[in-house]
């Protein structure tokens, strides 16, 4: 595997990486999706580095050099051309992350405990639904 991926090589491709840094020179609008593992990613001119786990993406906003390497064992990336990256949904939209955090805090609160005790479990709801259908069929 070449330690470099240039924009000319990019038609959207899957790349396996290890701890050795891989150099990516990608056009603006491309995206790097982490399929498996965890990676460290940095881009020239960017003030922060990123550690991305499986299911996350990095959107290329500058044509500066990107360095990426696996943090623990191997990792699998999907490097998407700008047209494909634009069509792909974000890994986990920010608003969902916020909603998930709010749900977690409600789930651990005393009010959340009371609501869970009042709510029927999914199994109870399915049983009730089948019970209604069985009664309707016998009448």
Ordered by start, the domain boundaries in the chain are 4-87, 94-138
Residue 82: the pLDDT is: 87
Residue 121: the pLDDT is: 59
Please tell me the total number of residues recorded for the chain in this structure: 139
CATH of 4-87, one of 2.60.120.10, 1.10.10.10, 3.30.420.10, 3.30.70.360: 2.60.120.10
Long-range CB contacts (within 8 A, 24+) of 88-92 = 88/31, 88/33, 88/57, 90/57, 91/33, 91/55, 91/56, 91/57, 92/55, 92/56
Residue 111: the pLDDT is: 56
Name residues of the chain where pLDDT drops below 50.
Answer: 1-2, 7, 92-97, 133-134
Alpha carbon distance 29, 7 (integer Å): 12
Residue 65: the pLDDT is: 95
Portion of the chain with pLDDT greater than 90, in percent: 40
Residue 84: the pLDDT is: 81
């Amino acid at each position: 595997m070449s330690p470099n991926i240039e924009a000319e090589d990019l038609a959207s491709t899957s790349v396996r990486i290890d701890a050795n840094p891989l150099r990516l020179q990608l056009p603006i609008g491309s995206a790097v999706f982490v399929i498996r593992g965890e990676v460290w990613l940095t881009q020239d001119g960017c003030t922060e580095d990123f550690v991305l786990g499986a299911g996350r993406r990095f959107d290329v906003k500058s044509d500066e050099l990107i360095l990426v390497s696996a943090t623990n064992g191997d990792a699998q990336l999907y490097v998407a051309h700008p047209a494909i990256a634009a069509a792909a949904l974000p890994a986990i939209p920010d608003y969902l992350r916020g909603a998930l955090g709010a749900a977690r805090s409600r789930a651990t609160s005393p009010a959340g405990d009371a609501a869970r005790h009042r709510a029927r479990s999914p199994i109870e709801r399915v049983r009730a639904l089948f019970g209604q259908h069985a009664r309707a069929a016998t009448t």
